Structure 1
Amino acid sequence: MQRYILPTLMAFVLMLTSGAQAQSLTEVRTKLQAALQRSLSRAMIDGALPHLDLETGEITKLYPTENHEVILRMNDIYVMCATLVTADGTESTVDYYMAQNRGSYGVIRTEIDNRGPIKSLIEAGRAVRLE
């Protein structure tokens, strides 16, 4: 009987630990998604996110359509991706780099139609999927 106690206890502790990790990941995901929505809401003008092209000086209005499920992590930085569209339906992929400050998250960098940096970080193993 005693030889079954330790394995059973270890399995129980592992189950509790896994549940706590799953809960904390769910909590992180929820906080990140809420922070991104707040950030987008603050930046919107007349229902669109204005994007200034620094080369041409033109402003393009982008409308959020889809937040992608995948969240990447680089130490204490998280990357969320979304698809935005212009009024004529042209799609843009946007990467939002987010960090935590005093318990809440905020956007620290935005890359629009520039997947090169995040792809390089993924290939180098510095950005991994949050699971």
Structure 2
Amino acid sequence: MIRIALFALLALGLFPPASVQAQSLTEIRTQLQATLQRSLSRSMMEGALPHLDLMTGKLTRFYPTENHEIILRIADVYVMCATLVDDDGTEATVDYYMTHNGSGYSLIRTEINNRAPLLALMKSGKAIRLE
């Protein structure tokens, strides 16, 4: 009976995979930060993160200024946030979505100035603070 209940919770995404469960918060944070740094290094051009606004067609160069300490979890997806600044000094929020890939983590989505979906997930209780 207990096995069935645990399997059901895993199937619903209420527990992370066993490999993630065994990790401490510090280990997860360190691995997520390393993944983010590697991904950003590959994406950055001349020290800036280029971003194409699909509504306006405008290409903006963003520069990282501050990483936020909070990490959120949505089932098996982790969200790290940061503040960016463009060439004019205008700040933008960025949310990086990462998931466990078996041997580490992978960046699967980046949202710049699109916080409403994440806030809705937080409000519904689907995105929780990793503590």
TM range (shorter): 0.7 to 0.9
State the AA in 2 paired with 1:42. R
Rg (Cα) greater in structure: 1
Shift >4 Å, 4+ stretches: none
* Other-structure match for 1:31: 31
State the Cα distance separating 1:126 from its structure 2 match: 0.5
Q: TM-score, normalised by structure 2?
A: 0.81
* Other-structure match for 1:4: none
State the Cα distance separating 1:22 from its structure 2 match: 9.9
* Other-structure match for 1:83: 83
- How far apart are the structure 1 equivalents of 2:53 and 2:36? 22
* Other-structure match for 2:57: 57
Q: Secondary structure at the match of 1:34?
A: helix
Q: Secondary structure at the match of 1:37?
A: helix
- How far apart are the structure 2 equivalents of 1:97 and 1:82? 12
5+ residue gaps, structure 2: 1-20
* Greater helix content: 1
Q: Secondary structure at the match of 1:41?
A: helix
Q: Secondary structure at the match of 1:98?
A: strand
Q: How many residues are paired up? A: 111
- How far apart are the structure 2 equivalents of 1:113 and 1:123? 18
Q: TM-score, normalised by structure 1?
A: 0.81
State the Cα distance separating 1:119 from its structure 2 match: 0.4
- How far apart are the structure 1 equivalents of 2:118 and 2:53? 20
- How many percent of aligned residue pairs carry the same amino acid? 68
Residue by residue over 1:91-112, the C-alpha shift from the partner in whole angstroms, topping out at 9 and shown as x without a partner, is: 0000111111122111111111
RMSD: 1.5
